[in-house]
Chain A
Amino acid sequence: MTRPEAKPRVAVVTFPGSNDDRDAALALERLGAQPVPVWHADGELPDVRTVVLPGGFSYGDYLRAGALARFAPVMEAVRALAADGGLVLGICNGFQVLCEAGLLPGALRANHSLSFVCRDVPLTVERTDTPFTGRCEQGQRLSIPVKHGEGCFFADPELLAELEASGQVALRYAGESPNGSVAGIAGVVNAEGNVMGLMPHPEHAVDPLTGSTDGALMLGSLVDATRRATAEPAAV
């Protein structure tokens, strides 16, 4: 008798002010994962190997976007998971939180236009050997929406050279960047490759009803990687 394969569990954190947590959970569920909601005040994560920090305006974006969320109790557990090789994906505000927390390099600043941008943007996949882009092809063009006021990725020339040299730029805006990011950077991974942040919202691009389904390639990659990560310990 075959037992139905357990769905890979992915924690989705809700900070006060998060507003894409439910979309992220829904998208992950539709891609075969079991989303596990986690509250920012929780000191620990449930039994997961993957966590998603969703978009929104955690703590009202006070001081700097993401600056206060990084002190949320759950972030200690996220930090520990990342250090232990677990997978962490930060989308939009989640990306800002990861940069502020020092889990990702760089910083996100106000868009050059000072306007909130909300539209589909073309992207180029720069890395396919990450847990977040495994289903994509090298150089593939994706169309995924952005919606942010502070998505201008900044790295000083030294850090930028380092990121480029080590291949940490995973995703770039194709054509003009919607926010003035250096080198058109839309998404970066950490040096170890298990933490990624991006400004575009893959969770909003999983249903043909709302346009592109390219976001499913990214979140689907994460579900695949989570399945592999959770299967491995059992195989030992």
Chain B
Amino acid sequence: MRATVLVRPKPGILDPQGEAVLGSLQQLGFAVDGARVGRVVDLELRDADSRQARAELERMCEQLLANPLIESYEIELAQET
């Protein structure tokens, strides 16, 4: 089963990368008022049960993929075929 984890800097936390990207986009003439830069982790899971997989993914995020103090995360499970 495939899963994608999106990790973002928590709202309210200054994101210097996002600020730099925003500045560059504005310089290019794009009408952009905000940019935040996060991280995407694509995973290939051995587990086929989606409930179990979600629980596993939560643990992965808490233990490694995100730092809960500064980052939020979102889990997307691929539709089962």
Residues of A within 8 A of B (CB): 63-64, 67, 71, 100, 106-107, 109-114, 154-156, 159, 180
B69 touches A107 (CB 8 A): yes
Instruction: Tell me the complex Cα distance, A14–B39, Å.
Output: 28
Q: 29 A–B contact pairs at CB < 8 A?
A: A63-B64, A63-B65, A64-B67, A67-B64, A67-B67, A71-B64, A100-B67, A106-B69, A107-B67, A107-B69, A107-B70, A109-B13, A109-B70, A110-B16, A110-B17, A111-B16, A112-B14, A112-B16, A113-B16, A114-B16, A114-B17, A114-B20, A154-B69, A154-B70, A155-B69, A156-B69, A159-B69, A180-B14, A180-B16
Instruction: Tell me the complex Cα distance, A106–B65, Å.
Output: 17
CB distance from B78 to the nearest CB of A (A): 22
Residues of A within 8 A of B20 (CB): 114
CB distance from A100 to the nearest CB of B (A): 7
CB distance from B4 to the nearest CB of A (A): 16
Which residue of B13, B64, B65 has the most chain A CB atoms within 10 A of its CB atom?
B64
Residues of B within 8 A of A67 (CB): 64, 67
- Sorted nearest first, the 10 A-B pairs with minimum C-beta distance are A107-B69, A107-B70, A114-B16, A112-B16, A110-B16, A107-B67, A114-B20, A154-B70, A64-B67, A109-B70
Nearest neighbor of A112 in chain B, beta-carbon distance? B16
